[in-house]
Structure 1
Amino acid sequence: MIDHSGISTSDFDAAKAFYSAALAPLGSSYLFTVPAEHTGGVAVGGFGQDRPQFWINQGPAQVPPLHFAFTAQSRAQVDAFHEAALAAGGTCNGPPGLRPHYHADYYGAFVLDMDGNNIEAVCHAPA
């Protein structure tokens, strides 16, 4: 349903490093920087697998912070996302595990990025 989305970040370079590390276990990477002449000089870049689907741009952080859930193909990817995001400076907002109050096979992990956004990896496949 959603083709792409994005957030503003108070520190573009720090967010680029954080999301590069956190999204790598899910098979995503930093793919594209929008040329400054198209953004009025604002840093803008996108992450994805085959095309940018999650964008960051330099600017004030959203108030209130946002929540993004990224698809993981396995529970091991959820675990690796959580570990990588914490190592890259994120704050734990819910360790990897089942969330049966959402759905019986909902396995997710949550981290806060440097701007307080709730970033999640989730796998819906049964164990």
Structure 2
Amino acid sequence: MLDHVSVQCDDLGAAREFYETVLGPLGITVSMDFGDVLGMSGADGVPKFWLGKQTTGGAQREIHLAFTAANRSLVDTVHRAAKKLGAEVLHEPKEWPEYHPGYYAVFMRDPDGNNVEVVSHS
């Protein structure tokens, strides 16, 4: 549904470390680096998730980002990566049947306080 998402960050270096660490297991990497703007891509190489330095507005408001994992094992791998990084884990990996059967997800905070989810729909 979405073509791409861009998030402004207070500390781009910290955001890059967080997203490279927790999304790496999903095959998502930085594919474009313009210094103050980073494009991250999956296997197709097309940047769909962008990080940039905070340039407009005041204090950020929390946003929610959800990334798809192919299976539960990858959700668990992301969880371990987030914990190793010292990221705040909001919800440990578990099934959320109130969303739908098979909805298995972990929720964590990025360095800017955003709610980041990695979910498998298996």
Normalised by the length of structure 2, the TM-score is: 0.90
Asked if 2 retains the 8 angstrom alpha-carbon contact of 1:66 and 1:117, the reply is yes
Separation in 2, partners of 1:54, 1:62: 21
Of 54, 57, 66, the match for 1:59: 54
Aligned residues: 118
User: 1:83 & 1:6 partners in 2: Cα distance?
Assistant: 25
Q: Is the 8 A contact 1:7 1:62 kept in 2?
A: no
Gaps of 5+ in 1: 37-42
Q: Deviations over 1:34-89 (max 9, x none)?
A: 3x6xxxxxx10011112211110011686321000000000000011111122223
Following TM superposition, where does structure 1 have runs of at least 4 consecutive aligned residues deviating by more than 4 angstroms? none
| Aligned match of 1:117 | 114
1:4/1:62 Cα in 2 relative to 1: closer, same or farther (>3 Å)? Answer: farther
Unpaired runs of 5+ residues, structure 2, are none
2:96 aligned residue: 99
Pair 1:48 & 2:41 matched: yes
Pairwise CA RMSD of aligned residues? Answer: 1.5
* 3-state SS in 1 of match to 2:112: coil
Q: Taking structure 1 as the reference length, what is the TM-score of the superposition?
A: 0.87
| Identity score, percent | 37
